């Protein structure tokens, strides 16, 4: 089993993945902890050990580790945590990693690592062209064309980010919990805000995907993922694949490409 660590702006997600009998990536456990930029390496390691114990996983079960980060200050502390937990040097995803993609962009080094990981898994697993939509702090669209060419995509505020901005900037708008609205037309302020955020995000996914298809001149495979996708995906009307674990599976794929080993 491989330890995968995704360091996001809001949440750090750890997972344990291995190949099942069909050769597909199986997620054996996931655990999340808050991203605390000033947190110490010792605190992160203690929390990861606690989460592993709570999941019934022994550190000795891991044969290797891989991580990606969009928070540069946390890459080294979490890399050290992975090393302490597995006894191996973790694979760290960079712009130079072997993703199997050709990045057709003017500044390829500036593409978010999480976007490359999502795109690598989708390109290896789905009919091309493919669009991944990852819904977290930001909502990112990644476009991979025929020949596994990464064309770029779209970055928009995340669902919770947009709601928080409304609460922060509008004196009479309350804090609202995320959930999938039962109807678009809200009857209370909270319902209206929730509809705007969640139904609005679903409409954005459908609408931007349609515009991407128009620009490419062909239909795409749409993959929806990310921690907040569970609220939005039920309202999306474009045919799609929903898989909340795309990024973890992508990390496992890049581990295998980097090491030549297997997650079995």
**CB 51, CB 45: distance < 8 Å:** no
114, 118, 134, 245: which is the annotated catalytic residue?
114
Q: Could you give the CA distance from residue 157 to residue 145 in angstroms, rounded to a whole number? A: 24
List the structure tokens of 197: 């955020």
Among 247, 199, 250, 241, smallest CA distance to 220 is for 241
Say whether 28 sits in a helix, a strand or coil: strand
Q: Could you give the CA distance from residue 17 to residue 28 in angstroms, rounded to a whole number? A: 6
The phi and psi torsions of 88 (rounded to 5 degrees) equal -130, 160
List the structure tokens of 228: 């907040």
Q: Could you give the CA distance from residue 150 to residue 52 in angstroms, rounded to a whole number? A: 35
- Cα-Cα-Cα-Cα dihedral of 15, 19, 24, 25, to 10°? 10
Note if 134 is an active site residue. Answer: no
Task: State how beta strands 64-69 and 91-92 pair.
Answer: parallel
Could you list the active site residues? 114
């Amino acid at each position: 089993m491989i330890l995968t660590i995704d360091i996001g702006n809001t949440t750090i997600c750890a997972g344990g993945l291995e190949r099942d009998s069909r050769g597909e990536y199986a997620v054996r456990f996931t655990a999340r902890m808050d991203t605390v930029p000033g947190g110490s390496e010792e605190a992160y390691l203690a929390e990861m050990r606690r989460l592993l114990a709570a999941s019934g996983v022994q550190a000795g079960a891991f044969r290797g580790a891989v991580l990606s980060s969009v928070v540069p200050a946390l890459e080294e502390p979490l890399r050290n945590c992975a090393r302490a937990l597995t006894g191996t040097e973790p694979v760290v995803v960079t712009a130079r990693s072997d993703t199997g993609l050709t990045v057709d962009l003017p500044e390829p080094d500036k593409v978010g690592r999480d976007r490359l990981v999502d795109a690598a898994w989708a390109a290896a697993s789905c009919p091309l062209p493919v669009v991944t939509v990852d819904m977290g702090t930001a909502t990112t669209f990644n476009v991979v064309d025929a020949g596994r060419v990464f064309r770029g995509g779209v970055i928009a505020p995340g669902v919770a980010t947009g709601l928080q901005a409304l609460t922060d900037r509008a004196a009479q708008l309350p804090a609202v919990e995320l959930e999938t609205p039962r109807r678009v037309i809200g009857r209370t302020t909270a319902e209206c805000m929730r509809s705007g955020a969640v139904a609005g995000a679903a409409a954005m996914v459908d609408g931007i995907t349609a515009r991407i298809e128009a620009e490419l001149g062909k239909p795409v495979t749409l993959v929806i993922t990310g921690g907040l996708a569970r609220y939005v995906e039920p309202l999306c009307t474009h045919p799609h694949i929903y898989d909340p674990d795309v990024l973890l599976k992508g990390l496992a794929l890049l581990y295998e490409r980097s090491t030549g080993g297997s997650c079995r």
